[in-house]
Copies of this chain bind each other. A is one copy, B any other.
């Protein structure tokens, strides 16, 4: 193929290596760089993009991280074949997915309560006044999740009920600058439960039908727990896609653990 690079004099946005990564990524997603194809060597790319080899490598490392390419010493950089990347870096949010297929998402607040935390919640978020908000998520008016979020009430002083319907807590906390540090990581457990009576009513499914339950604790960049949330998803509507990489040592799914 002919290698064209857009060495435009348009003002750069962001670092050089991210721009180069973007260009290469669109060559791959656009199909002009097929599976298992070998990329031009780092030296050649360096000339093409008029960037140092280290900058080129940094761009390639970004794409490696995203699962698009891989390298073999002494050989070159290869485009990873599609089945391997299908889900990688594509873990888009449920809202994005819905928007993509033209489905209208909506949040409905069930209730909101301020209270002194139970021992479990205090253990996670600290012994301070808590806000608990319960919501239903709908896709084209079909309920697909019941969500409960706990957070220290001091962080939610300026939020209204309509804020909770319009925005996720992530958006609210981040854009309103009520937290000092960005939310950076979360630990989540996924289990299977039988739907209880209230959730059955809210989600429009039979009592006892299978559901996925997720418990998630979200931390800021200093490792302080900021949010605790519970999600219940009807089993027939939802599934999780995960990718396992690196050394796979066991046929048993990693991340699995026995409880009790």
Contacts and interface: CB of A to CB of B under 8 A. Distances in A.
A208 interface: yes
Contact of A238 (B35, B217, B259): B259
A214 interface: yes
Nearest to A167: B251
Contact of A83 (B190, B225, B239): B225
A191 B170 contact: no
A211 interface: yes
A150 to B, nearest CB: 12
A145 B219 contact: no
B255 A191 contact: no
Contacts of A144: 258
Nearest to A35: B223
Contacts of A210: 192-194, 210-211, 235
Contact of A189 (B211, B240, B250): B240
A58 to B, nearest CB: 11
Of the listed residues A188, A239, A246, A252, the one surrounded by the most CB atoms of chain B closer than 10 A to its CB is: A252
Given A145-B252, A233-B256, A36 B223 contact: yes
B188 A242 contact: yes
In the assembly, how many copies of this chain are there? 2
A235 B91 CA distance: 25
A93 B249 contact: yes
Contacts of A211: 192, 210
Interface in A179-217: 183-194, 208-212, 214, 216-217
Given A186-B243, A240-B256, A82 B223 contact: yes
B95 A243 contact: no
Interface of A: 35-36, 54, 67, 70, 78, 80-87, 91-98, 137, 139, 144-145, 147, 149, 168-170, 183-194, 208-212, 214, 216-219, 221-225, 229, 231, 233, 235-246, 248-260
